Chains A and B, each alone.
Chain A
Amino acid sequence: MSRFRKELLKGLVVSNPIFILFLGLCPALAVSTSVDNALGMTAGVLFVLLGSNIIIATIRKIVPNMVRIPVFIVVISTFVTVVSLVFQAYVPALYAALGIYLPLITVNCIILARAEAFASKNTIFNSIGDAIGMGLGFGLALIIISFFREILGTGSISIFGTHLLTLPVLGEHPMAMLALPPGAFLVIGLLLALFRRMGVVRSG
């Protein structure tokens, strides 16, 4: 059990995929424009990661080394296609907002890296812990980034259509650039600098 907890917790801070491992930055930069998108992307990534880690850990002993990558890709892309069809059918607005980054979860380095580095060498149980930890760690990072981009870039924040807060001055003159692609780099860079200063992230 303690091993499971260790695998689960490491993804959140110590080996956070975005802030520490720098994996999956491309979708993180692209879909962190609003907290809604961040939550939707997290749900998608978490589901795919969980599914692929479970399957890959299950079949790890019968897959020969030479075909492991094709097998991983088939497993991962199957889960991605399922997520993508389900989103399209039940949450079309989110599907439209995530756009190309939803199918691109297939080649998201977090998922393939976890399959290759963890699930293919560990038990199913620990792989579940790893998937949940990494998925939530990715989500946590995405939510922090998107929180700043949404509140500063649009001047207000809302979650699933429920309006939460509008800033006094920024509400009328938002820093729109933060909601655009350059803003993603700025916010991630500033957050990393801050985390490093606070000692959350140690420099390699």
Chain B
Amino acid sequence: MQPNIFKRLYPVILVTLIVLVSAVLLSLTDDITRGKIAEQEVAQVRGMLKEMFPNMTSLTLENDIYTVLENDTTIGYGFVAVGKGYSGEISILVGLENKTTVKGIVIISQDETPGLGSRVAEEPFTSQFAGVDIDDVRLDGEIDAITGSTISSEAIVEAVRNAALEKAESLGE
């Protein structure tokens, strides 16, 4: 009786053991790489914000909002907005020069149709956002959509405005 039970349970025990070993290995890898991955993300955002705010000297991150400082004076804010594009998520770094005005946007990643929707990541579209009041970030406001890419353009405009309004509120008046 005893060996029989063991024989039947053996596959279960084996798979459990293998999964356990795998889990331990993965948590070790996660432990080693986690800090580095977070660093890479901050470094990427830092580079983009530096281009938007050339006077930036340092950067602090709190509640997903980056505060851009020039010698301890706040000169702007940055945060990541995510929009639902034509073929996947579009993540956008938004810079605010104060709580009501956009300083600029940079498309961090997008998966739109090459040659059509992907053009929203290019200068002619993104540069339109500089200096625009948050409330006017609309396709029927200050921003012109890219011809043939209305869905991608709309996704970005909506994501930027909604996120900016929300962040501005959390920053307080």
Measured CB to CB, the residues of A under 8 A from B are 59, 62-64, 66-67, 70-71, 74-75, 77-78, 81-82, 85-86, 88-90, 92, 96, 99, 176, 180
Given A59-B18, A66-B11, A71-B15, 5 new contacts (CB under 8 A): A75-B18, A81-B29, A88-B40, A89-B33, A99-B111
A-B residue pairs, 10 tightest by C-beta: A89-B36, A89-B33, A78-B22, A67-B11, A85-B33, A92-B40, A89-B37, A82-B29, A64-B11, A88-B37
Using Cβ atoms and an 8 Å threshold, which residues of chain B touch A90? 36
Across the interface, do B37 and A74 meet the contact criterion of CB distance under 8 Å?
no
Bin chain B's interface residue count. 20 to 34
- Given A75-B22, A81-B26, A85-B29, check contact A96 B109 (CB 8 Å): yes
B14 CB-CB contact with A under 8 Å: yes
In the complex, whether B10 has a CB less than 8 A from a CB of chain A is: yes
Of chain A, the residue at the smallest CB distance from B11 is A67
**Main secondary structure on A side of the interface with B:** helix
Chain B residues, Cβ within 8 Å of A176? 115
Residues of B within 8 A of A (CB): 10-11, 14-15, 18-19, 22, 25-26, 29-30, 32-33, 36-37, 40, 44, 109, 111, 114-115
Which residue of chain A is the closest to B10 with respect to CB atoms? A64
Q: Are A85 and B30 in contact (CB under 8 A)?
A: yes
Least distance between A108 CB and chain B CB atoms (Å): 18
Residues B26 and A86 in contact, CB atoms below 8 Å apart: no
Given A71-B15, A86-B33, also A78-B26 (CB < 8 A): yes
Whether B33 pairs with A71 at a CB distance below 8 angstroms is: no
Asked if A70 and B25 make an inter-chain contact with CB atoms under 8 angstroms apart, the answer reads: no
A90 to B114, CA, bound (A): 27
Q: List chain B residues, Cβ under 8 A from A81.
A: 26, 29
